[in-house]
Amino acid sequence: MEYKELADKAIKAKSVSHPPYSNFHVGAALLTEEGKVYLGGNIETSSYSLTICAERTAVFKAYSEGERKFKAIAIASDAPEFCPPCGSCRQVMLDLCGDIDVVMVNHKMELKTMKLSQLLPYPFGDKELK
């Protein structure tokens, strides 16, 4: 799948987000190695810190369906500029998805693609636990 198409799906995923407190919609589309796509939106609760980001929604949905191999994740938001994933999502994605491509899309429909390892250099991980 072209990353442009994946980015379109991330934009559409904003409509399944639930951010009644921040009113900031984020959508994510996670692409498996086999070409399946899992969508996620950010979901907020009244106890703000229990909020889950769009990226982690998509990752946990995919994992709970048995997926383990991933290629890329696209991220779209209400911000006009590229929306980089937060630090918590970077750690979760690296642990659960590996060094995937992170495709950010802005309101001009331009794409910015970075390796997750560029976004989270010198990470904590499995190797420290051995």
Q: Compute the least distance from the CB of residue 69 to ligand THU, in Å.
A: 22
The residues that bridge with 105 in the sheet, in sequence order, are: 111
Nearer to ligand THU, 50 or 129 (CB): 50
Asked about 5 being catalytic, the answer comes back as: no
Half-sphere exposure of 55 (CA within 13 A, CB side): 26
Q: Compute the least distance from the CB of residue 107 to ligand THU, in Å.
A: 16
Q: Cα torsion for 104, 106, 111, 116, to the nearest 10°?
A: -20
Catalytic residue among 2, 5, 44, 55: 55
Residue of 26, 72, 74, 93 interacting with ligand THU (CB under 6 A): 26
**Euclidean distance between CA atoms 84 and 125, whole angstroms:** 21
Helices (H), the chain: 3-13, 54-64, 87-97, 116-119
Q: Compute the least distance from the CB of residue 112 to ligand THU, in Å.
A: 14
Q: Work out whether 58 is an interface residue with ligand THU (CB under 6 A).
A: no
Q: Work out whether 44 is an interface residue with ligand THU (CB under 6 A).
A: yes
**Euclidean distance between CA atoms 8 and 89, whole angstroms:** 21
Q: Which residues bind ligand THU (CB under 6 A)?
A: 19, 22, 24, 26, 42, 44, 51, 53-55, 85-86, 89
- Return the active site residues: 55
